[in-house]
Amino acid sequence: MCCCGECFIFFIFFVFYSFLCFGYRVTVLSKTLFEINKGVLKFKKCISLSCSWLLFDEECYFGNQYILEEGHYPDLTSCGCTSTAIKSLKPIPYSFAEPSVSLFSLSGFKGLEDSLCSDAENMSHFFIQSVRVHSGLWVAYEYALFKGRQMLLQQGGYPVWAEHSGWDTIGSLKPLRQPKAYIQLRSRALGSVLTSESLPDGSFPAKLFLSPADRSLDTQRWIFTHGLLKNTARMGCLSVIGAKACAGAPVALWEEHGRINQRWSLNEDGSICSHLNRSLALDLRGTRTLFLHQKHTVCANGDLWDILSNFEVLLTQDILALRLHLDIMTFNLECINVKHFGQLLTPLEIN
């Protein structure tokens, strides 16, 4: 880092920034250059980020919101931003829950109700006055066809929408698209992680068991996307064998077909529930057998799991110093590139 008057140049090479156990990181790649000149942070080259971001045109996370998902944004206009500067920003927490929201025609969650779990590009037929987000993350738009001002909606209630947003109603809304999440699943009772049997012929079904965590093993690395838990070594999915929606049904790795017996919910309480019957949770017998069990009827947290990232947390003084100024600086962005890196095991080169 060099200093000349009021101008500071930061060369930040390959930095990870990880939040809790959800496995998303800020990745500032080599040859990305920041210039701070008289309180203005300017990106001299593009920046690649590995989670979705929430931008604000006022300091301290106030003002209009702009949600950035994976993609390339050559200027602020392409972000949907009508302001001349971004003054604060923060990462959007990862949500493993399936999106679900209820919309009401009157304040206080009264009147007609409309429930959604997918995109709604035109809500002109329904004058929304209160909103309850049951699960997942949603992006609300002021006008139809996902246009106009944006607002991120997280789990909870918005009893008077006009007071919360300053809008008359919601014109359209959709779930926030989540990137693929590369994770490990650790038994809260035993401390070991879910591991797939490695068969040389690649046949299915493959047994699942618990073993000590080893981040170098693909058999312990999972992708969660669209309700499917895929093992990266076998690319098979966690499946209820026989599609039996009953306690005691065995669970193993099976070739992906996407039917309901391969779909799961990773809940905030630590349970992993089958879509066959959401009262049935993934459980274990000893360390060698997985099956479905009635949720929370076993002792010692046997049916509860922790979601772990497969990546180490690396912080440098430069990125820490930058974080301290995120909510007070004005950002003039020449270019933003938001990209999700699922499995980043070796350094990347930028030409």
3-state secondary structure the chain: CEEECCEEEEECCCECCECCCCCCECCECCCCEEEEECCEEEECCCCEECCCEEEEEEHHHEEEEEEECCEEECCCHHHCCCCCCECEEEECCCCCCCCEEEEEEECCCEEEEEEECCCECCCCCCCCCEEEEEECCEEEEEEHHHEEEEEEECCEEECCHHHHHCCCCCCEEEECCCCCEEEEEEECCCCCEEEECCCCCCCCCECEEEECCCCCCHHHCEEEECCEEEECCCCCEEEEHHHCCCCCCEEEEECCCCCHHHEEEECCCCCEEECCEEEEEEEEECCCEEEEEECCCCCCCCCCEEEEECCCCCCCHHHHHHHHCCCCCEEECCCEEECCCCCCCCCCCCC
User: Which residue type is seen at 97?
Assistant: A
pLDDT on residue 114: 95
**CATH number for the domain formed by residue range(s) 189-303:** 2.80.10.50
User: Which residue type is seen at 262?
Assistant: Q
pLDDT on residue 261: 92
pLDDT on residue 3: 36
pLDDT on residue 140: 97
State the fold for domain 100-175.
Answer: Gamma-B Crystallin; domain 1 (2.60.20)
pLDDT on residue 309: 67
Distance of CA 35 to the CA centre of its chain: 29
pLDDT on residue 302: 62
CA atoms of 223 and 340, how far apart (whole Å):
13
Tell me if 45 sits within 8 A of 32, measured CB to CB: yes
Task: Kindly give, in sequence order, each residue whose CB lies less than 8 Å from that of residue 116, ignoring residues fewer than 6 positions away.
Answer: 100, 101, 102, 103, 173
The domain segmentation of the chain, as residue ranges, is 2-93+312-338, 100-175, 189-303
pLDDT on residue 296: 63
pTM of the model: 0.67
Q: In which residue ranges of the chain is pLDDT below 70?
A: 1-51, 71-74, 286-289, 296-302, 309-351
pLDDT on residue 212: 93
pLDDT on residue 329: 35
pLDDT on residue 201: 72
CA atoms of 342 and 60, how far apart (whole Å):
30
Tell me if 16 sits within 8 A of 40, measured CB to CB: no
pLDDT on residue 39: 38
